Structure 1
C-alpha cells in the first residue's frame, strides 16, 4: 500500500548502470512535513555557503548548516566546516531517515535554497572525509525541484522531481560514476530545504 499516494517503486534503480539511486517518495504526511519545514527555516544555524575558486573566497546565496554525532570536520570546495551537535528535531529526522533507509548516519549537511534561482552545479559527493561508497540520504522539504544525474564518462542523463517530505537514497558507486545537480529555475519562488545524511569516517570530536 502506498500510504502517501506517490506511486513510487521504492526498489527501482533510477540509474541505468554504475550506481544505485532509489526514490522512496513521501515518507511523512503533509502536516508533519510542513511542521519540520517551519522548524528548519527558523531554528537551524544557517550560514551562506563558501567556496575557494581560483584562490578567491566566494560566498553563495544558498545557505548551509552542518550537524553531527561529533565535531566532525568536513572539507569541500576547499572550505572546512565543523559539525554542530544535533538538535532534538534533527535527531528525530535522522531516526526517521535511518528507519526508511535501513542504514545509520553520523552527520548531516543541510542546504537552504530561497527560491528556484538558487541551485547547485554538477558535482559528486566523493570527498575523502566520507565513507567510501557509503549511502547518502537526501530528505526534501518545501518547493518541489528537479534533481538531475549525469554519467561522468558517457554523459547520460536522468532526472526526477523531489516532492515535499520525500527521501532519495544514493548508494554504492553512484558518487564514483555519476554527477548530480539541482538546476535553477525562474518558475519557483518559494524555498526548498534538503538534508543530506552522510557517514564521516575515522574522526573524533566533542
Structure 2
C-alpha cells in the first residue's frame, strides 16, 4: 500500500438508510481487500491500545474491548468517567481521515478506535451525545476485519422496530443530523466465534469557549 496517494477513489457514495428522526448513510465497501487487510494490520501494530476503566452506576468496570484516542491537540474527550487526551495523528490515520472526509463532506479533528478482540468484546447501548460533540454531530464509523452486527433502537418510540446493520470489512457508516438525539446503538456479545475487528469513529470535538 503506497502512502503517497489516497486509498479511497471516490467513485461511489454512501447510501441512505431510511430511519425516522435520523440521518444514516452506509457504504458496504469503502475499502476493499487487500487494502482493508493492510490497514487492519497497521492499526493493530501501530496504535497505542489500552483497556480503559469506565464508571457505570457509580462502580468502575473494565471496558470489554481495547481503545485509543487520536486527534488534533486540544481535542480531549470525556465519557462514562473517562477523560481521553489525544495521541498525535499517525500517517495511516491521516490518510484514512482524508478519505472519509471526502465521502462524508465533513471535517474531523479526532478519532476513537476500538479493538474488538473476539465475540466477547462489545459496547453497550448508548448515544454519542456528549456536549463537546455538539447538538447534531457527524460521526463516521469505519469497520475493518470481522463482521459484527450494529444495532439501533429509538429512545422513545416503541412502535419502531430496531435496525440492524452488518458492519463488514471495509464498510463505512455515517450518522448525522438528529441521530444521536433520538437513537441509541450497540454491538452486543455473540455466541459464535468472532475474529478481531477494529472500528474507527471519526468525530469533531468543539472548542470550549
TM-score clears 0.5: yes
Q: Displacement, 1:78?
A: 1.4
TM-score, with length taken from structure 1: 0.90
Q: Partners of 1:71 and 1:132 in 2: how far apart?
A: 20
- TM-score norm. by structure 2 comes to 0.89
Residue in 1 aligned with 2:196?
Answer: 191
What is the alpha-carbon root mean square deviation over aligned residues? 1.7
What stretches of structure 2 of length at least 5 have no aligned partner? 1-11
Deviation at 1:34, TM superposition (A): 0.3
CA contact (8 A) 2:104 2:174 kept: yes
Residue 99 of structure 1, CA deviation = 1.1
Q: Which residue of 2 aligns with 1:75?
A: 78
Offset at residue 183 of structure 1 (A): 1.7
One of 151, 155, 158 as aligned partner of 1:152: 155
2:91 pairs with one of 88, 91, 101? 88
Q: Does 1:169 align with 2:171?
A: no
Unmatched 5+ stretches in structure 1: 1-7
Contact 2:137 2:180 in 1 (8 A): no
Contact kept, 8 Å, 2:64 with 2:120, in 1: the verdict is no
User: Following the alignment from structure 1 to structure 2, what is the Cα–Cα distance between the partners of residues 180 and 67?
Assistant: 22
- Partner residue of 1:202? 207
> Residues 45 and 203 of structure 1: is their aligned pair in 2 closer, same or farther, counting only changes over 3 Å?
farther
Q: 1:40 to 1:9 in 2, by over 3 A?
A: closer
Secondary structure at the aligned position of 1:134 is classed as: coil
Deviations 1:41-73 (A, max 9, x none): 111000102211243322123111000111322
What is the distance in 1 between the residues matched to 2:147 and 2:196?
9
Secondary structure of 1:26's aligned partner: coil
Question: Structure 1 residue 189: deviation in Å?
Answer: 2.6
1:13-32 per-residue CA deviation (whole Å, 9 max, x = no partner) reads 241x1011111111122100
Cα distance in 1 for residues equivalent to 2:13 and 2:193: 27
